């Protein structure tokens, strides 16, 4: 009995020492592991931030005045350049139901940021062709600024002001322009996929051959954006 107890005591001491020395190591491993948390909005397709250096963002939108597909490439942390193809069934956001095609080169530049708020300049110059008793061909596109407010890792809300301009050369020749104001948002389903929404509204002025027409122009688009890296 005494020999058993004497043999048992060293074994207990050895086990206790092993537990004490293994606990800090185990704790260190647990604290250095990166937990899987909520998706972080580190890029943007429509808000004040850009796609991010080297990222490629694919976006599809549908609503009024049509449907569009956009590819954005992050040239650096603050600048995007891309290609946009649009198929419209409303003339420049107005209630005029005219079918058309738009090919543009989107440009975005983050001009300021502070904490969860960022501001970006946006332009989308391009070529538009509408079917209006013949081909109406024009050049132009929206120019504007957008302010994004990241209210959570998943959600960013934004306010925007745009000035769409289209100069047409035929059927008829003239210019269409007008300021639009609105907002939108992005909600990240995961780190590389977001739901987007954009709403703009404002007056649209059409000047052609001595005639002047004023309507209400509006844009309402819902889309999906995917960061393909």
Q: What is the pLDDT confidence band of residue 133, given thresholds at 50, 70 and 90?
A: confident
Q: What pTM was computed for the model?
A: 0.79
DSSP string computed for 3-19: HHHHHHHHHHHHHHHHH
Contacts of 115 (CB under 8 A, 6+ apart): none
Checking DSSP bridges between strand 79-88 and strand 66-74, what pairing results, if any?
Answer: antiparallel
> With bands split at pLDDT 50, 70 and 90, how would you rate the model's confidence at 48?
confident
Q: Which residue has the higher pLDDT, 209 or 92?
A: 92
SS percent in the chain: helix, strand, coil, step 5: 15, 60, 25
The 10 Å CB-count burial string (b at 16+, else e) for 97-121 is: ebebebebebbbbbeeeeeeebbbb
DSSP tag of 91: G
């Amino acid at each position: 009995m005494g020999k058993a107890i004497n043999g048992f005591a060293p074994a207990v001491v050895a086990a206790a020492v092993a537990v004490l020395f293994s606990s800090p190591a185990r704790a260190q491993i647990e604290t250095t592991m990166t937990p899987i948390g909520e998706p972080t909005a580190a890029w943007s397709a429509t808000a004040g931030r850009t796609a991010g250096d080297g990222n490629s963002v694919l976006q599809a939108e549908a609503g009024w005045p049509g449907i569009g597909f956009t590819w954005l490439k992050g040239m650096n942390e603050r600048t995007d350049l891309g290609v946009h193809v649009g198929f419209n069934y409303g003339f420049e956001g107005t209630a005029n139901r005219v079918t058309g095609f738009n090919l543009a080169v989107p440009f975005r530049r983050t001009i300021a940021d502070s904490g969860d708020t960022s501001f970006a300049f946006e332009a989308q110059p391009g070529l538009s062709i509408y079917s209006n008793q013949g081909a109406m061909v024009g050049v132009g596109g929206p120019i504007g600024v957008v302010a994004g407010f990241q209210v959570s890792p998943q959600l960013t809300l934004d306010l925007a002001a745009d000035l769409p301009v289209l100069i047409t050369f035929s059927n008829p020749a003239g210019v269409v322009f007008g300021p639009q104001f609105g907002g939108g948002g992005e909600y990240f389903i995961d780190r590389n996929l977001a739901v987007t929404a954009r709403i703009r509204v404002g007056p649209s002025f059409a000047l052609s051959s001595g005639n002047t027409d004023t309507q209400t122009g509006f844009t309402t688009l819902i889309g999906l954006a995917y960061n393909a890296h």
